Amino acid sequence: MPTDPYDDLHLDTLHVAATPDDDPRLAQWLQGVARGFHEGVLPDDRLTSWLVEAREDGQRLRGAWVRARVPGESPYAVATLCSWTGRVNLGAGRLLPLHMVSDVTVAATHRRRGLTRRLLTQDLADAAARGLPLAGLTVSEGTIYGRFGFGPATRRRALEVDLSDGLPMHPGALGSADTGRVVLVDPGEGWPAVQRVHGAHLARTRGEVGRHGAYTTRLTGRRAPGGGPDRSLRLALHLRSDGEPDGAVHYRVHAQERTHEVEVLALEAADPRTTLRLWAFLAGLDLVTRARQDRAPVDNPLDHAVLDPRAVRTTRLDDGTWLRVLDPPAVLAARPWGADASFVLDVADDLGHAAGRWRVATRDGAAEVATTDDEPDLRLPVDVLGSLVLGGTDLRTLRAAGRADVGDAALERVARAFDGGPVPTCSLGW
């Protein structure tokens, strides 16, 4: 009889509604995450603030705990994974529920025994059973998640912006001065206004994901990365002439002997003009000569608004959000389409959730999706479908890479249908 490879372990899913006193495995789980990412042992106040975040998201915590081996020993977590339901903008303002996966770790003593495979496949199966159409994550290494059906769907771009000349812009970039103003607000008190701006930004930004609880902690200044209240976090809000907030930038100034640098932690706005106005505000900060922004848009009006395009330098460009389709008809019917077409799509999926064949008929930006036995025009594995969902990767490129099987006759027709629309971008990591 085969033996259970995990008979020394206890596998379970925890409820974040519990308190650490009710269930000590909560604290063990979080310390397991910290160990997995090579952080030190976390202080109690980190546990407290993390539980607030996890409850805000309604997180499910999966894990494996080593059973006590000697009297008095506490069990500890050797595998962790969490997930919750968020939202993603598929384009044209269409928001779809997103199954968000994070904190995947396995202790050095238990690696490559299939623990991540076990926790992640269970988690994806549960999400599919609950009717979630799409899963997403951001990764530490590019080689792990393709086998589970995730494909890179947005790009992560880091910027270094030279502010030493005040970042002059072309006439017209900022509009007329009487259309709004910038005010400085305490990050905690400004949070409701920031949330309103975030709603507008999410609705207009293809690929953007709704903020989860970790961002509430981070952007209200409730807790600094090193612990205690965040006293160096600043918030500037842009207000329309009627007083309604339509832009927000969270930043921190790092004072150095000769040059001060501003770190842009989050910059969101209801429209591109306001984004540029917030950049002009940052450029006007006294003593500051340089800005850095991680997860900035790839296709960025800032590049074209500045008089000197070399003032905006890309210091990193790689994968951002990875998507995993769980329900192809739901996702294909929800995303916007660039051209009218009719084609048969065949999807292969080792985990089974997205495997099948469908006729996709697109018209006026919408699609009808129906199962079919017709010969496919396009065959691809589910991770490649994940790369196509947001329109961030061109089907022609995927075929050129040998990742999508589509004949010459169908290629242009199907590629034009998948294409069209803004380059997706996501400013979050999770």
Residue 239 CB, shortest distance to ligand ACO, in Å, is 37
Q: Which is nearer to ligand ACO, 139 or 159 (CB)?
A: 139
CA–CA separation, 390 and 95 (whole Å)? 12
Q: Which is nearer to ligand ACO, 37 or 199 (CB)?
A: 37
In the numeric block, which tokens belong to residue 152?
Answer: 């890179």
- End-to-end CA gap in the chain: 41
Active-site residue (options: 6, 145, 215, 251)? 145
Residue 76 CB, shortest distance to ligand ACO, in Å, is 14
Residue 183 in contact with residue 22, Cβ under 8 Å? no
181 is in an annotated binding site: no
Residue 400's identity, in one-letter code, is A
Residue 328 CB, shortest distance to ligand ACO, in Å, is 22
Q: Which is nearer to ligand ACO, 111 or 403 (CB)?
A: 111
Residue 323's identity, in one-letter code, is L
Sign, CA torsion 195/201/204/209: negative
Task: Compute, in degrees rounded to 10, the torsion defined by CA atoms 146, 125, 24, 72.
Answer: -80
CA–CA separation, 59 and 41 (whole Å)? 22
* Residues of the shown chain interacting with ligand ACO in the complex, contacts defined by CB under 6 A: 36-37, 101-106, 111-117, 137, 139-141, 143-144, 147
CA–CA separation, 129 and 90 (whole Å)? 22
Residue 315 CB, shortest distance to ligand ACO, in Å, is 22
Q: Which is nearer to ligand ACO, 114 or 309 (CB)?
A: 114
145 counts as catalytic:
yes
Question: Which one, of 133, 148, 182, lies nearest residue 328 by Cα?
Answer: 133
In the chain, the largest separation of any two C-alpha atoms, in whole Å, equals 78
Q: Where are the alpha helices (DSSP H) in 212-251?
A: 213-220
109 is in an annotated binding site: no
Residue 8 CB, shortest distance to ligand ACO, in Å, is 15
Q: Which is nearer to ligand ACO, 103 or 230 (CB)?
A: 103
Q: Which is nearer to ligand ACO, 118 or 416 (CB)?
A: 118
CA–CA separation, 321 and 200 (whole Å)? 20
94 is in an annotated binding site: no
102 is in an annotated binding site: no
Question: Which one, of 332, 300, 302, 296, lies nearest residue 422 by Cα?
Answer: 300
116 is in an annotated binding site: yes
140 is in an annotated binding site: yes
Q: 91 to each of 87, 97, 202, 208, how far by Cα in Å?
A: 12, 13, 10, 9
Residue 74 CB, shortest distance to ligand ACO, in Å, is 21
113 is in an annotated binding site: yes
Residue 406 in contact with residue 385, Cβ under 8 Å? no
CA–CA separation, 334 and 390 (whole Å)? 11
Q: Binding-site residues for acetyl-CoA, please? A: 104-106, 112-117, 140-141
| Residues taking part in catalysis | 145
User: Which residues are annotated binding-site positions?
Assistant: 104-106, 112-117, 140-141
